[in-house]
Structure 1
Amino acid sequence: MLSKNKIKFIQSLERKKARKEYGCFLAEGNKLVEDTIVAFSCKLLVATSEWLQAHPQVQADEVVEASPDEICRASLLSSPQDVIAVYEIPQYTVQPTSLSQQLVLALDTVQDPGNLGTIVRIADWYGIEHILCSPLCADLYNPKVVQATMGALARVQIHYVELVDFLPQIKAPIYGTFLDGENIYTQSLTPSGIIVMGNEGNGISPEIRSLVTHTLFLPSYPEGRATSESLNVAVATAVVCSEFRRPK
């Protein structure tokens, strides 16, 4: 049985203040929990008897068998599934020098939870293991971000850092997308480096632009045609990452 106090605790994790207080975040849904439970320390697992019987190997500090109705009352989703997991927020550390031979994403104030979650998923697809986020980016452990990652946060480490101080220490090419940049399809892109993606409305800030060593532009097709003003930041990230991973 799922108590009222546990329901209240689970729902409180929608708020950043509660996540910080408890040091925990929430994951819901069969696939998401299956992907993440092997990567994080599970403090509380709430699931139907059928789900628990189908997953006898799962480990958690506390397991609560609950009815579908109880899960519905605790869930933050519009269409709850069979399982809710509460994980301990991991504490990652990274040294700038360890990233110099990798392809890394740096997000400059990407504030939409759906965009951040999708970018984490894109990074996972393209084998990018680290994302650097400025402090004003959306919170990775916001339930909307967690859901949008589709489990990719189990394989990609996100670090909140002051980009203006951190990026120069990596000692790698720094790429950024701008309307006045060079056509990405005509450039020789390095296998390692930093890809900076900017805010949804304002793009890359002047402070971070001053650090960029290679400016890139994603042209519309055909070039010069009247078209949308810009691409969504997650879509643009996918295009840029795809071009970096294109076999040379």
Structure 2
Amino acid sequence: MLSKNEIKYIQSLGHKKRRDEERLFLMEGSKMVAELLEHYPSQIVRLYATETFYEQHPAAKQIQQHHIVSDDELTRISQLQTPNQALALVHYFSEQEIEPPSAEWILALDGIRDPGNMGTIIRLADWFGIRTIICSPDCADIYNPKVVQATMGSIMRVAVAEKELDAFLANQQLPVVGAMLGGKELSSFEFPKAGILVIGNESNGIREDVISLLTDKLMIPRFGEAESLNAAIATSIFLWELKRE
């Protein structure tokens, strides 16, 4: 049985300040935790799961601090509305110094604040084979439980680093392409083999000091009356065009 202090500690990791202090985040759901067990077991500090999960994934019992919990206990420690068999306390992934490769595209996010959008964009990057994302400091925390959940495991495979975008982009030799209204039509642009794609804030787009560093401004043509596109949807269209080239 979990103690009140243990439950309180796990719940506290739902807050960024505590996550940063402990360098730990929560990963939930049988699918994501099973994938973590298979590929990154050393990242797991503690594992809380139902008997059913341990029966289906015997390797879980090799985690030094593994605990069998009831459905009620899982509900008490979960950040989800509908808990799903397993919850892991996980080390932050190591943040390496990122230098844009000469033969790949990377994604730069300028003020993406919605956790759902952030998680979905990480998942999209994984789908389209983008291995690196640079985030401005005001982006949603990638270890926010809502972000982690929306990535559906892609947080394990995509390197994400926080940097001041203007300083980072000013030192790059690669093309810097920005998604913004009033730019050149996306379908008419020939993407080079490598570059940096900038996606702006959900409401305000790319900030002025970053716009000045763009080599190309591109837009998705509008055929209806909607004022704008969701940032994650816009990202998916840009990445499809980029990879289609």
Structure 2 equivalent of residue 112 of structure 1: 114
Structure 1 runs of 4+ aligned residues shifted over 4 Å read: none
Asked if the contact 1:115–1:233 (Cα under 8 Å) also holds between the matched residues in 2, the reply is yes
Structure 1 contact 102–193 (Cα < 8 Å) conserved: yes
CA contact (8 A) 2:98 2:161 kept: no
- The 10-residue stretch of structure 1 (130-139 or 6-15) with the greater mean CA deviation from structure 2: 6-15
Using the size of structure 2 for normalisation, the TM-score is 0.95
Asked if 1:17 corresponds to 2:14, the answer is no
Shift of 1:35: 2.5
Cα deviation, residue 129, structure 1: 0.5
CA distance in 2: counterparts of 1:191 and 1:6, whole angstroms: 50
**Cα deviation digits, residues 123-159 of structure 1 (max 9, x gap):** 0000000000000000000001000101110110110
In the aligned structure 2, how far is the partner of 1:231 from the partner of 1:52?
42
The whole-number CA distance in structure 1 between the counterparts of 2:123 and 2:34 is 16
Pairs within 5 Å for 1:1-248: 1-37=1-37, 38-39=39-40, 41-58=43-60, 59-96=62-99, 98-221=100-223, 225=224, 227-246=225-244, 248=245
**Identity within the alignment, %:** 43
Counterpart code for 1:88: H
CA apart distance, 1:205:
0.3
Given that residues 176 and 209 in structure 1 are in contact (C-alpha distance below 8 angstroms), is that contact kept between their aligned partners in structure 2? Answer: yes
Instruction: Kindly tell me the number of residue pairs found equivalent between the two proteins.
Output: 242
The amino acid that maps onto 2:44 is: C
Q: Report the Cα distance in structure 1 between the residues aligned to 2:59 and 2:114, rounded to whole angstroms.
A: 35
Structure 1 unaligned runs (5+)? none
Q: CA offsets per residue over residues 20-69 of structure 1, 9 Å max, x none?
A: 11110001111121223323610010001121121112343410111111
Deviation (angstroms), 1:81: 1.1
Structure 2 residues without counterparts, runs of 5 or longer: none
Separation in structure 1 between the aligned mates of residue 17 and residue 150 of structure 2, nearest angstrom: 21
Per-residue CA deviation, residues 50-99 of structure 1 (Å, 9 max, x unaligned), is: 21121112343410111111111111111111100010112211242x43
Q: Which amino acid aligns with 2:16?
A: K
Q: Distance in 1 between matches of 2:129 and 2:172?
A: 19
Give the CA RMSD over aligned residues. Answer: 1.3
What letter corresponds to residue 241 of structure 1 in structure 2?
A: L
